[in-house]
Chains A and B, each alone.
Chain A
């Protein structure tokens, strides 16, 4: 790879990519290589494509590209054929020959493979018309389907490093800072702190300043940072270089979770390429600015996502947080001024520099600007990653984009913000999602996890689940968090086991308030949120557990049993065949019976019955 010595080199290089190479009318087949599609066998599809294209002698007319995540994980493996943008979901290797023959060779659609929108029943052959994508605004994620994450040229071709060019040669560091400030960009990792203010504060302090990217993504159910790092690592690198230039830093780190080996691989490759071509290292593009980025891998500790714990971990120590009497912008990593931002926050920076602060702040709500990526998961039809303008309502996200709840079940709640967040009930579905609106209903934006829950989810169990999570993740330094969480867990476990007592709910509220107020770090101060919001909105479920000894959702085993509704049962026999305990008997076409003494409440019959004849009592 040639080394670009100055601005002219860069411009010439990018222009040469545009004019050269690409044959006119060349087709591009983009195969999603994201984690969701990989699980469903995307690799086999790609291999079949390569073979078929070769067998048909089409190598010169067709380019096959494995890209990062396209977002629509539910329908993987996803194949998109450009320039038309033909969208084929749920492709299998055996579909490939027909797709190559018809669509790639003859420009016809393969009718059977075309996406049919389950809601409108309409066929939507083009990616841009698929409702899942149509209602999104994909500023950060839109290029994922066009970029091979291992190719810096692909990033250039999508306008990559244009913002860096502008920053280094047309703007001075303070102008960049101001631009980020006026854009209103707030941190995407949880707190929503204004990025520009953080940068400016770090700049006011002397020392060797550091910029760090938080890619610890500990919030279970959220995977947008993984998507960005795996699919478009250069966008994060570009953001970090610009940030470093703005605050005068010469060294950066990316702290990545151990669980994301592909992100580490793609990022490592991207850093190497940026280095070789002269966008990292000494005297970047002859500007006189030096900057380099290193990778550090985490060790599977949730608390290491917290800023001070992350920095301790980077220094090779156990990742324990410290009290923030002195902020990390003054004394952070190696006791020096440090700017820590989330992956998605960094990826927004080039967008702001390219389009200007005004264009950026035109998107979103009064106090939350730009877009946000949400991971829409749990009991929802279209699981995947969704990027929408701040202020989009929960209803639009869950029902219009997400397609609603599967199996005609009823929506119960959506959990946002991970273990520090809360559960939002139906009455707030028309809430426009931004940092402040979520806080008003007792939850938080967090990093953007959105876990949809239906009528079969027990809210007391959900609260117990999160507290159990946090019990394992509490670093144990401070008493309120360590002991408070343990006590809350004890009470919740007893309630779920059928041993709840009058007064338990009040005790939980009291303990929660104490832990919120007196814990050392953000883990503790936010830990009671899932408990307090479920009590606030689903108190009746707690009461049913405690007073009536019933779990209405049929999750807490000691508190319910299954019965067969003789009126609804058609005697099809599916449940009896599937029951591992042989607890169900009955004649064909006659209502069946369930022997309670044999039943282990595994729920197989409940899931299997198509007539809703197995009921929770």
Chain B
């Protein structure tokens, strides 16, 4: 076991982690621990754009953006946070441009902007061009640009280090962050990083679904590490299903495709979104579009012999426009489906995409241990966190924004905290939990296989807690997850070695997915209403009287050593917008 000491440790090198690192490296001795090489992070998969009311191509302002974000989130958004997001968006985009990001340009040479779902002029009047983009590889360009600037700033990376535990020490009755424990992939060695500040920027958790746009590595490690140490997880029932994933594969086709004029059609060729969202049509918010697609499918208007998908039709757009604005996604259709998007509509279905919930933080990125207590020295930003700027449903282009705005804020806040604070003493045997976990898995002779349990988990999640949920389906999922968690205790790995043992790490990642899936299902069961991404067929309406509040899920360990989930609730911060019915 090795012990390292840094002022600030950042867990994750995606957009949020690297944006934080650029700030904190200037201000404090910083280490970035990342399980992937930075440029492998899933921020690089983002396609469509990053929202900011630059008003480069038409009238726009950050107040409209704030409103759209709150409405898009079905009023579960903390309005003070949404205001910061929309206001600081403009500088966030300009910062990236100055760092070198090659945005597409207008004829005037300014940053070009395009339409995106849920973004409107003047509180819902019509779609507005607010998304700043670089073809359909905006995330790639953000990730590359941030990495380039990390190279410039000399950010210190520990690549292929998996953070598996969060260390917390109680000082005078206050829980404080003391550091993290990491597993080095190359050697199997365990490292303890003592740090004054720790920032989680470890991304999402989509891999508990089968059809998902998320990478294999998005297994919610950060959320799980904090949760296991008694910290709450907020709004985990809210998961976004993006309308246009490649049929059966889940690979994302950006909403930018509809922003450029693409149309969703059912088997009769009908532009069905006109029925569900007369104003915004194909550019209604994602939860609305995904439900509409499944409604078409359920009512027998799906395409193909099994009627299990619909079409994204780009055939009326000029090939030059597709080549210039959507080169990557048209290539995905060619590569993975053998389809030519110039002439063929593309078969699509909703795909599990984005975790609105996560580690609760305030607007400075500080992690909360309950509704209002901050854990000194602990920060989170990006998809791992819940500020909450996305509420019950995130608007497209608001996450690339979130990672930049709150990544930067967390980086500054963490470094400044490190400056004015001392190291917190490490707990006794700091690496114990990880050592035990690794040893148990390596030595286990149990007969359960990681791949089988993961497959069953993904199948139950897809079948029971996707776009449509009921008490019955969620209960089925809760029971199945409980069974899988039991079976997980008998899981064994074949690779017993130390070097690059990805077999072992997949087992650990599965453990995280199981814990988080349970939190998601239990939180969903208790929310007896429909709001944003959480749709209960047995409670189809939003219920502001009982459920205008954030879910806070805590892990509790009983005297018998068994763990269970305790749910609590946190008020939503409302400033100037009164909840209204959402219409698109």
A binds B: no
Interface on A for B, CB 8 Å cutoff? none
